[in-house]
Structure formats: structure tokens, C-alpha cells
């Protein structure tokens, strides 16, 4: 697993850590889940677009 470094406003980081605590996860876990959801949604969108194009061609 790779590590990344990001810069955040102190207030945003504090609020994000609170959200992570409320969701019983870590800040890293919160970011990881958000990015996983984003990637999964993009993949679903890409597959739907391919299916739509296939149906137009067929």
C-alpha cells in the first residue's frame, strides 16, 4: 500500500477527523473509503457507457 501526503486547512482536518470518529474509522480510512467509492462509481459509469454504445451499434 502506498502513502500520500496532502495539505489541508486545519479546520477542515479537524472536522474530517470528527467525521472519521463518528463513523468509527480513521482519517486514512475515511479518505480510502471515499476514494474507493469514487473509483467504483467511475468504473460503473464507464461500463454503462460501453453498454450504451454497444446497444447503439448492435
Instruction: Put residue 24 in one of left, alpha, beta given phi > 0 → left and psi -120 to 50 → alpha.
Output: left
* Side-chain half-sphere exposure of 22, counting CA atoms within 13 A: 6
Q: Does residue 58 register a pLDDT over 80?
A: no
What confidence score (pLDDT) does residue 1 get? 85
Instruction: Give the predicted TM-score (pTM) of the model.
Output: 0.78
Give buried/exposed letters for 13-42 (b at 16+ CB in 10 A, else e). eeeeeeebeeeeeeeeebeeeeeeeeeeee
pLDDT digits (tens, 9 = 90+) for 1-41: 899 999 999 999 999 999 999 999 999 999 999 999 999 99
Amino acid at each position: 500500500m502506498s502513502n500520500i501526503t496532502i495539505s489541508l486547512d486545519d479546520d477542515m482536518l479537524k472536522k474530517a477527523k470528527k467525521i472519521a470518529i463518528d463513523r468509527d474509522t480513521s482519517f486514512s480510512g475515511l479518505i480510502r473509503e471515499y476514494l474507493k467509492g469514487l473509483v467504483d462509481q467511475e468504473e460503473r459509469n464507464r461500463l454503462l457507457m460501453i453498454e450504451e454504445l454497444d446497444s447503439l451499434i448492435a
